[in-house]
Amino acid sequence: MRGIAVSRSIDVSAHRQAVEFADGVYWIGALDPTLRSFDIILTTANGTTYNSYLVKGSDGVAVIDTVKENFSDEFFARLESEARYEDIKVIVLNHLEPDHSGALPELMRRAPQAQLYISQRATSMLKALLHGDENLPYTTVTTGDSVSLGDRTLQFLHTPFLHWPDTQCTYLEEEGILFSGDVFGCHYCDKRLFNDLVGDFRFSFDYYYAHIMRPFKKHVMDALKLIEPLKLSQIAPTHGPILRERPRRYVTHYRELSTSSLSQGIGSDEQSMIIFYMSSYGNTARMAEAIAEGAGDVDGVRVSLYDLEGGETDPFVDLIEEADALLFGSPTINGDAVKPVWDLLSSLAVVNLKGKLGAAFGSYGWSGEAVRMIEDRMRGLKMHIPRSGMRVKLIPTAEELEACHAFGLEIAEVLVGKSGSGGVIDFADLA
Ligand code: FEO
């Protein structure tokens, strides 16, 4: 092997040279140990890495992914330690988010003969991200396509939404190395670079999955169908350790993480409805109870009622992901829904709620905006709102509680296949 030798004492922060981890296959990425927040929503307790790779074949060199733009010097120094720009035949971008495409325009200026390979869905992003460089030549590829470097072959796997619509994986057939892009990555910066040498990164791996991949579980499962049959000697993601020791256990772990842990608790013939509420004087609580009773009258619906005053919101996310219908109740205070309801609604970006049934309700004093605001948020989460919400002015009467019962029953009937929709029920308007 050439390049920097891999040993227990490896420290890639001490130099700017490529690191060879299989015959003719090099890490040429960059370390970002001081990063503490990624994409705003993730904390990165010890930074991250931007992994880029170089593959040498008998008929040219391939560069797979680049780095964030302000880490370009480190990337180019490592690349130049092992290859000449004129030998670069292939550039693969598995994902065009700026942390991987930042050095692309300059790389293509230095290697103008190279052909860029991206997914079909990456083309619009290429134009949007690389203003002024949108005329870069490229070829789109998908599952079944490959490119030859002579004695080396790069196969492409169409794996969208891991983590953007454009993402793909690239497989080096002869070595059994999967250049996976964001998938199987984590924000964990360690100068020892390899999973058998770095510190304990299990938390980072799962945290990354929960925030980056979890909303796209279905797409993870689709990708695993392509990845699991491959002979895998190593997985080389774009962030965090290179998975060279027992790489398949990470594939297995992804399948476990993407498989529902709760589904066996509810009968497969039952639909799960969860009603969350907050109540300042007990009025919205009474509405919630009446709605729950109404919904519970429908066969095949399992109803759960949770007062958000009684707990933190994070533990509810698993339940919400598995639920078929979600109802949120909030009083209107100062023209708004109350904070615990917003806290819960704002924590749901990590799960896919598309198509789940939603409804809102609440008691109010004089303006009652909360119900419509919650509905807007649910629509923003791509939920289906079959029935406009129920509002009650101050203390619900017996008649209004009967209407809440009917409201719950109606939503539950929609859930089990009896459709129905209507406008806002507001007893103040009927008075
Ligand atoms: Fe590492 Fe989605 O970029």
- The confidence score (pLDDT) of residue 266 equals 60
pLDDT category at 4 given cuts 50, 70, 90 is: low
* Spatial separation of the C-alpha atoms in residues 108 and 87, rounded to whole Å: 12
Average pLDDT over residues 105-118: 95
Distance 78 CA to ligand 1 centre (A): 21
Distance 420 CA to ligand 1 centre (A): 42
Distance 242 CA to ligand 1 centre (A): 16
CB 136 within 8 A of CB 112: no
195 has pLDDT over 90: yes
Q: Which atom of ligand 1 is nearest to the CA of 239?
A: 1
Q: Are residues 216 and 358 in the same domain?
A: no
Q: How many Cα atoms occupy the beta-carbon half-sphere of 112 within 13 Å? A: 3
Domain-terminating residue out of 234, 258, 282: 258
- The confidence score (pLDDT) of residue 419 equals 57
Q: Are residues 128 and 244 in the same domain?
A: yes
Distance 210 CA to ligand 1 centre (A): 14
CATH of the domain at 291: 3.40.50.360
| Range in 9-13, 190-194, 204-208 the model is least confident about | 9-13
Which pair of tokens denotes residue 357? 């049934």
Mean pLDDT score of the chain = 92
Which pair of tokens denotes residue 231? 């002979």
- The confidence score (pLDDT) of residue 429 equals 47
CB atoms within 10 A of CB 202: 11
Three-state SS for the chain is CCCECCCCCCCHHHCCCCEEEECCEEECCEEECCCCEECCCEECCCCEEECCEEEEECCEEEEECCCCHHHHHHHHHHHHCCCCHHHEEEEECCCCCHHHHCCHHHHHHHCCCCEEEEECCHHHHHHHHCCCCCCCCEEEECCCCEEECCCCEEEEEECCCCCCCCCEEEEECCCCEEEEECCCCCCCCCCCCECCCCCCCHHHHHHHHHHHHHHHHHHHHHHHHHHCCCCCCEEEECCCCEECCCCHHHHHHHHHHHCCCCHHHCCCCCEEEEEEECCCCCHHHHHHHHHHHHHHCCCCEEEEEEEHHHCCCCCHHHHHHHCCEEEEECCCECCECCHHHHHHHHCHHHCCCCCCEEEEEEEECCCCCHHHHHHHHHHHCCCECCCCCEEEECCCCHHHHHHHHHHHHHHHHHHCCCCCCCCCEEHHHHC
* Spatial separation of the C-alpha atoms in residues 222 and 162, rounded to whole Å: 11
What single letter denotes the amino acid at residue 429? Answer: D
205 has pLDDT over 90: yes
Strands in 153-158's sheet, in edge-to-edge order, are: 146-148, 153-158, 168-172, 177-181, 234-237
Q: Are residues 226 and 307 in the same domain?
A: no
34 has pLDDT over 80: yes
Distance 92 CA to ligand 1 centre (A): 15
Q: Are residues 302 and 373 in the same domain?
A: yes
* Spatial separation of the C-alpha atoms in residues 391 and 284, rounded to whole Å: 9
Q: Are residues 234 and 152 in the same domain?
A: yes
User: Cα dihedral sign for 180, 181, 183, 188?
Assistant: positive
Q: Are residues 230 and 177 in the same domain?
A: yes
Which pair of tokens denotes residue 167? 């993402």
What single letter denotes the amino acid at residue 388? Answer: S
- The confidence score (pLDDT) of residue 312 equals 78
- The confidence score (pLDDT) of residue 349 equals 85
Distance 185 CA to ligand 1 centre (A): 9
423 has pLDDT over 60: no
Which pair of tokens denotes residue 257? 């993480």
pLDDT category at 9 given cuts 50, 70, 90 is: confident
Distances (CA, A) of 78 to 15, 20, 175, 378: 9, 11, 21, 47
Q: Which residue has the tokens 């909360």?
A: 370
Q: Which atom of ligand 1 is nearest to the CA of 97?
A: 3
Which pair of tokens denotes residue 334? 């100062």
Range of the domain at 387: 263-430
CB atoms within 10 A of CB 111: 22
* Spatial separation of the C-alpha atoms in residues 112 and 94, rounded to whole Å: 19
Q: Which atom of ligand 1 is nearest to the CA of 238?
A: 1
- The confidence score (pLDDT) of residue 134 equals 62
CB 75 within 8 A of CB 17: no
Q: Whose CA is nearest to atom 1 of ligand 1?
A: 182
* Spatial separation of the C-alpha atoms in residues 104 and 117, rounded to whole Å: 12
* Spatial separation of the C-alpha atoms in residues 431 and 424, rounded to whole Å: 14
Q: What values do phi and psi take at 242, rounded to 5?
A: -80, 130
Distance 139 CA to ligand 1 centre (A): 21
Domain-terminating residue out of 258, 289, 307: 258
- The confidence score (pLDDT) of residue 161 equals 95
Q: Are residues 248 and 301 in the same domain?
A: no
pLDDT digits (tens, 9 = 90+) for 338-380: 999 999 999 888 899 999 999 999 999 988 999 999 999 999 9
Q: Which atom of ligand 1 is nearest to the CA of 212?
A: 2
- The confidence score (pLDDT) of residue 431 equals 38
315 has pLDDT over 50: yes
CATH of the domain at 70: 3.60.15.10
Distance 79 CA to ligand 1 centre (A): 21
Domain-terminating residue out of 258, 282, 304: 258
Q: Are residues 129 and 232 in the same domain?
A: yes
Q: Are residues 251 and 272 in the same domain?
A: no
Distance 178 CA to ligand 1 centre (A): 16
Q: Are residues 273 and 247 in the same domain?
A: no
For ligand 1, which residues put their CB under 6 angstroms from it?
A: 95, 97, 99-100, 163-164, 182, 238-239
Distance 224 CA to ligand 1 centre (A): 19
The model scores a pTM over 0.75: yes
> In Å, how far from its chain's centre is CA 222?
14
Distance 88 CA to ligand 1 centre (A): 24
Q: Are residues 53 and 186 in the same domain?
A: yes
Q: Whose CA is nearest to atom 3 of ligand 1?
A: 97
Q: Are residues 242 and 358 in the same domain?
A: no
Q: How many domains does the chain have?
A: 2
CB 290 within 8 A of CB 405: yes
Q: Which atom of ligand 1 is nearest to the CA of 182?
A: 1
Distance 97 CA to ligand 1 centre (A): 5
